[in-house]
Amino acid sequence: MEVVILAAGQGKRMRSVLPKVLQPLAGRPLLAHVLASARALAARRICVVYGHGGEAVRTRLDAPDLVWVEQNPQLGTGHAVQQALPHLSDAGRTLVLYGDVPLIGASTLARLVEAAGRDRLALLTVELDEPSGYGRILRDAEGRVVRIVEEKDATGQERRVREVNTGILVAPTARLRDWLARIGNDNAQGEYYLTDIVGLAVEAGVEIATVSPETVAETLGVNSKTQLAALERVYQASIARRLMDDGVTLIDPARFDVRGELVCGRDVEIDVNCVFEGRVELGDGVVVGAHCVLCDVRIGAGSRVAPFSHLNGAVMGEACVVGPYARLRPGTALGNGVHVGNFVEIKNSRISDQSKANHLAYVGDADVGTRVNIGAGVITCNYDGVNKYRTEIGDDAFIGSDAQLVAPVRVGRGATLGAGTTLTRDAPPDQLTVSRARQQSYAGWKRPEKKN
């Protein structure tokens, strides 16, 4: 089977410089969702019909299994499919999809393909309470489809039909080629309508099958930001339902967003307003507090992320406690039982088992051993304005509050740094290292007095 995806429409109502089919739904372009469904059917070839100025679409989504066909000017859906014909082989069947109908499901498509068999024309249709705007499916007294009439060409009587054309169909390719060569544009919009092939199929005695989708949302198109947001919620609700069916506790499934892939172990609990991006894996018993953003993160069993934390490109072992207000940046690897507290930022650093940085610290480009305590306000000065350097902290070291470790520098095992130390040379193991002006007190000193 071969697939043609119509994606040449400009999408003026999005009022955006970004082409419509690149607008994101769950963090991925609309067209990427359609491509995923097409690929799930193991299509032999996928032709994407794109419009003038659509180069950005091609640049963004190009792949070896795609054929890009420009349609310029855009003379209608029939004309759009015609542009792809040179790339289709007569022996097979063609599935037509829309680039702006993102939730179409692979299982609905599989049923449509099956209904088409080798030689039928199969249409995906739905019954709508509010059918205005859509092409209507007209049937004869026996219930056989005879034609599709577009809203703008329909009589008052025809407009009362509630069964509509979703636009998605499967046709034998040789027939499709023949029919498209014969359609005209003598209609209300002066366009070449793909829907006109239905009348030609009836004339040729080709059987027409209709299939309806599992959910109406699968067939909804996106023409505006309002419709985009509505489909986003539909999509998120389906992910939430799937996770809850697998035993995940979502405190409120309506305040939960996955923009990538979220994989959860048993007894995971996610509080409200969390966003998951890229690939996120949460081990058994992980708890994620409210208002967290996690992107490309792996969290071991029993770890907790407290509210308002932002974790990106980090790996965490078991039984860690992170946040509230923690920031883990790419290259962060926490061992087991590590504590990262409020307003602590960690980047490109390894923190080994049982170590803690509980308050207001920056740890960048560091290798921190086990059972290390990093005090409040500690900073690794990893950047000299040109180059980055590493800091090494040995097991059982104690870094006093407000210390600055000017990298490259090493703190030996069991070393203690006094509070406020600016460390510019290595601190030997098991010793106290302090760099600090001596404290003095002045007896008899008086505060200045206000002059008149």
Q: Which residues are catalytic?
A: 359
User: Is position 150 an interface residue for ligand UD1 (rule: CB under 6 A)?
Assistant: yes
Shortest distance (Å) from residue 31 CB to ligand UD1: 10
Q: How far apart are CA 163 and CA 143, in angstroms?
A: 12
State which of residues 2, 3, 9, 268 lies at the interface with ligand UD1 (CB under 6 A). Answer: 9
Segment 218 to 247, residues that bind ligand UD1, using CB under 6 A: 221
In this complex, which beta carbon is closest to ligand UD1, that of residue 167 or of residue 265? 167
User: Is position 81 an interface residue for ligand UD1 (rule: CB under 6 A)?
Assistant: no
Shortest distance (Å) from residue 154 CB to Ca ion: 15
In this complex, which beta carbon is closest to ligand UD1, that of residue 8 or of residue 288? 8
In this complex, which beta carbon is closest to Ca ion, that of residue 148 or of residue 326? 148
Segment 171 to 200, residues that bind ligand UD1, using CB under 6 A: 193-195
Cα dihedral: 357, 358, 360, 363 (round 10): 10
Q: Quick count: other Cβ atoms within 10 Å of Cβ 450?
A: 4
Which one of ligand UD1, Ca ion, none is in contact with 193 (Cβ closer than 5 to 8 A by kind)?
Answer: ligand UD1
Fill in the per-residue mask, 87 to 116: x = in contact with ligand UD1 (CB under 6 A), - = not in contact: -----------xxx----------------
State which of residues 23, 37, 74, 382 lies at the interface with ligand UD1 (CB under 6 A). Answer: 74
Fill in the per-residue mask, 213 to 252: x = in contact with Ca ion (CB under 5 A), - = not in contact: --------x-------------------------------
Segment 41 to 70, residues that bind ligand UD1, using CB under 6 A: 49
User: Is position 145 an interface residue for ligand UD1 (rule: CB under 6 A)?
Assistant: no
Fill in the per-residue mask, 378 to 407: x = in contact with ligand UD1 (CB under 6 A), - = not in contact: ------------------------------
State which of residues 23, 37, 108, 165 lies at the interface with ligand UD1 (CB under 6 A). Answer: 165
Find tokens 């025809």 and name the residue: 158
User: Is position 82 an interface residue for ligand UD1 (rule: CB under 6 A)?
Assistant: no
User: Is position 80 an interface residue for ligand UD1 (rule: CB under 6 A)?
Assistant: yes
**Where along the sequence are the contacts to ligand UD1 (CB under 6 A)?**
6-9, 49, 71, 74-77, 79-80, 98-100, 134-135, 148, 150, 164-167, 193-195, 221
**Where along the sequence are the contacts to Ca ion (CB under 5 A)?**
221
